[in-house]
């Protein structure tokens, strides 16, 4: 059962759309190496604001992804951000995980 997640927010400097796409592509590869991640989504909120959300069955699995994922990758791409990324730990109240990619 999915019980916890992390919501990450990234504010890129203007003009870095291709770099943002590369950042999330590398992020997806990291997530694919973490088989206990129950769901992962990257999305755009505005012209330079992006987010990623990942869900997990427990806090240990979330910690494993955070140790290898977003915070680590954010340091590599740090020069692209207008403000430092944030990583909010969340508790899942209800969930419906997609069965397959559409």
Is 30 among the domain residues?
yes
Is 96 among the domain residues?
no
Name the residue range of residue 71's domain.
4-91
Residue in 89, 95, 70 with CA at minimum distance from that of residue 6: 89
Number of compact structural domains in the chain: 1
Q: Is the pLDDT of residue 97 over 80?
A: no
Rounded Cα distance between 38 and 92, Å, is 12
Residue range 27-86, pLDDT digits in tens: 999 999 888 999 999 999 999 999 999 999 999 999 999 998 888 899 999 999 999 999
Is 74 among the domain residues?
yes
Place of tokens 């012209």: 47
Dihedral (Cα; 33, 57, 64, 67), 10-degree rounding: 100
Domain CATH number, residue 76: 3.30.70.100
pTM over 0.85: yes
Q: How many CB atoms lie within 10 A of CB 81?
A: 17
pLDDT at residue number 98: 67
Is 99 among the domain residues?
no
Is 53 among the domain residues?
yes
Is 14 among the domain residues?
yes
DSSP helix/strand/coil, 71: helix
Is 102 among the domain residues?
no
60's tokens:
């240990």
Is 51 among the domain residues?
yes
């Amino acid at each position: 059962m999915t019980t916890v997640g992390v919501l990450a927010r990234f504010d890129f400097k203007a003009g870095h759309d291709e770099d943002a796409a590369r950042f999330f592509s590398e992020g997806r590869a990291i997530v694919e190496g973490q088989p206990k991640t129950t769901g992962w989504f990257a999305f755009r909120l505005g012209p330079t604001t992006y987010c990623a959300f990942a869900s997990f069955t427990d806090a240990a699995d979330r910690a494993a992804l955070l140790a290898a994922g977003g915070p680590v990758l954010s340091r590599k791409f740090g020069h692209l951000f207008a403000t430092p990324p944030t990583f909010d730990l969340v508790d899942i109240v209800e969930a419906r995980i997609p069965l397959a990619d559409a």
